Chain A
Amino acid sequence: MFLQQLINGIAQGSLFALIAISFSLVWGLLRMVNFAMGELYMLGAYAGWLVVMHVTPNLGVALFAGFMVGWIVGWLIEKVAFKAMRGVPHIASLVCTIGFSFFLKETASTLFGAETKSMPSYYSQTAFTIAEANISWLQVLMVAVAIIMMVLLQLLFYRTKVGLAVRAVALDYRTASLMGMKVDRVTSLAFSLSGALVGFVGVLAAIYYNAVNAGMGFVPAIKGFTAAVFGGITSIPGAILGGYLLGAIENLSVKFMSSGYRDFVSFLILIIFLLFRPNGILGKKTKL
């Protein structure tokens, strides 16, 4: 069953990796953590759920809806919590994103009701069986979609002008503006993109776990953040590596220990890395 836990870990790791990328994007550009990430994930999940229940059962449309909602709300958070607070001490922005986190959660709970909503299953049939380990089509799809997303991001960052601008602004926004890059616009774009990404992940998670509720984002956001720190928050490949490693470690830890220790393992990793290797596995040294 080692293999089965590894497979579960990789599937879950795909979700963590995408969330971790979002944290890395925001960190890279603003040296800031967006504490409302979990709620963007939750809103994405609701958007996907609404589409599936009321518009069309097409999964692609649901994922797109999650992406768009994440984009829009992410954009809004950037405008309020970061742009409007430029020049104010960083802590104000952080507190503001925490405020957003509560606000969005309570809004969703009021709007959709506090009870858990059921999301229909997709592709839940077994795709392969390897040594008693079952891999469902959904798990295959999740990993595939996550990888496609990462490849697209990689292409965006390394093959387009906008991506170049995002990287340049993240490295040195003053010099980037001397090159004619519109720092505000690039930052806002990357922030929206990070929101869109977690919104998208929210839909994937809703399908994987068949459930949507207002509090669903809290744990994955912390896990995603842990994955980002683990892999190196300044580096997107690091975030991806951190996501998959965390997924695998968590699931395998269940095999060897009581499952009650699962979160304990994740947070132990977070604390150890923050203490001894704050730059993570692949991260570069940064001045904070």
Chain B
Amino acid sequence: MKKKLISLISTVLLVSSGFAAWAAGTPNSSIIHIALTAPITGDYAEYGNNFKHSVEMAIDEINANGGVLNKKFELSVGDSKGDPKESAMLAQKWTSDSTIVAQIGDFTSTCCMAAQPIYNRAGMIQLSPTASHTKFASGSKWSFSVYGSQYWEQPVMAALAVDKLKFKNMALLYINNDWGVDTQKSFKENFEKRGGKIVATESYFQGETDFNAVLTKLKEFKPDALFLATMYNDGALISKQREKMSWNLPVIGASALYSPQLIQLGGTAVNGIYSNVSFFAKDPDPRIQAYVSTFEKKFGNTPNFAAALAYDCVYILADAIKRAGSVDRNAVRDALASSKDFKGLAGSITFTAERNAIKTYKPVQVINGEFQLVE
């Protein structure tokens, strides 16, 4: 039985590597093949689908306008399910295909960092729209974060908390993964630098639904406000359970809370929550409005920040290829690294030496069931 299994697996591996070699042997000079890794299913599927729709939309637009260097973009999509193992497996798949010029993705920092060594070894661009862990982009010369990092985002939130909202004692609640740990740490540093005090810190693991115990504990410390380093779905659940406990206090959180889903799920419980954005769907900028209305028409929902960032990824990659004048992986990487003041939907993009985009973030607040910019 075991022997049979082994021989079956080796046959499959042989055949598939044969295919890969065959595919690699026939590069098509009229296309630019890129890969997208995204959580199409699973807990982060909303973000994954926003990625996919936006990337497809951008590619269609570029191809309709004649492509880049007279070549058309072609896209392969892989579903990482938000699972680091899957993300790493997809990295193996993409890097073993020599026709692929660059990879866009993944969504979470954890997934990106799991796949990072593979892209680094193979020498393939790993351009993540959303990974914001401070150690992600700096970890490999092939990794880029268009989102920027918590390093840029949390000072904005800390300033809001201390200067505008006058919070002194805050409690932190974060999801226990790479991103959550980094986000809360970054906020804590900035908040304390400005003279605030963190009175309690609690965490939970992905998949938790019962926050009653954690909230009860945090409540004991009587903080002025609560900081959430969580995704929108957990943020909504936490808010609802907090409302039920009749614990009323101001809540601020990371940009991951910024999603129409937060309001759909959280209802009145999320009213008053502060977050921040680099992309705001109601921004009057005509370019943004054109993008939002096309996206809404095509896919039936309002694009979130992840969608806009993924869209920017395709365009900045196209720009780099144009400037490199070839699809050589090294040339494109160098061109991408030297991107300067690229005008994206989610703000302009200039990469630091550690390949993090420097971004500006605008605070937003949920008021009467809608996100509004905080003046």
Contacts and interface: CB of A to CB of B under 8 A. Distances in A.
A and B, direct touch (CB closer than 8 Å): yes
Interface of A: 1, 4-5, 8-9, 11-12, 106, 109, 113-118, 121, 124, 126, 134, 136, 138, 205, 209-211, 213, 215-216, 218-220, 250-251, 254-255, 258-260, 262-263
B42 A114 contact: yes
Contacts of B212: 8, 11-12, 251
Nearest to A115: B46
24 contacts: A1-B219, A1-B220, A8-B213, A106-B41, A114-B41, A115-B233, A116-B237, A116-B265, A118-B236, A118-B264, A134-B246, A210-B241, A211-B209, A211-B240, A215-B207, A220-B209, A250-B213, A254-B216, A258-B202, A258-B203, A259-B213, A259-B217, A260-B176, A260-B203
Most buried by A among B207, B210, B246, B266: B210
B204 interface: yes
Contacts of A255: 213, 216-217
Contacts of A210: 237, 240-241, 265
A219 B237 CA distance: 16
A83 B298 CA distance: 48
B216 A5 contact: yes
A138 B246 CA distance: 14
Contacts of A138: 244
Main secondary structure of the interface of B (DSSP, over half): helix
A5 B41 CA distance: 35
Contact of B217 (A1, A106, A109, A219): A1
Contacts, number: 106
Interface in B257-292: 261, 264-267
Contacts of B244: 121, 124, 136, 138
B367 interface: no
Nearest to B46: A115
Given A116-B233, A118-B236, A211-B237, A262 B213 contact: yes
Contacts of A9: 213
Given A1-B219, A211-B237, A255-B217, A126 B246 contact: yes
A254 B45 contact: no
Contacts of B331: none
B328 interface: no
A116 B236 contact: yes
A215 B43 contact: yes
Given A8-B212, A114-B41, 8 more contacts: A5-B217, A109-B45, A118-B236, A124-B243, A210-B265, A211-B233, A211-B237, A260-B176
A101 B275 CA distance: 36
B213 A5 contact: yes
Contact of A254 (B205, B217, B243, B265): B217
A254 B200 CA distance: 13
Nearest to B237: A211
Given A1-B219, A109-B45, A121 B209 contact: no
A168 to B, nearest CB: 38
A209 B207 contact: no
Interface in B20-54: 41-43, 45-46
A220 B217 CA distance: 21
Most buried by B among A213, A218, A259, A262: A259
Contacts of A126: 246
Given A1-B219, A114-B45, A219 B267 contact: no
B245 interface: yes
Interface string B43-87: 101100000000000000000000000000000000000000000
A136 B240 CA distance: 13
Nearest to B204: A259
Contact of B207 (A109, A118, A219, A250): A219
B45 A209 contact: no
A260 B204 CA distance: 5
A114 B49 CA distance: 10
B208 interface: yes
A160 B241 CA distance: 40
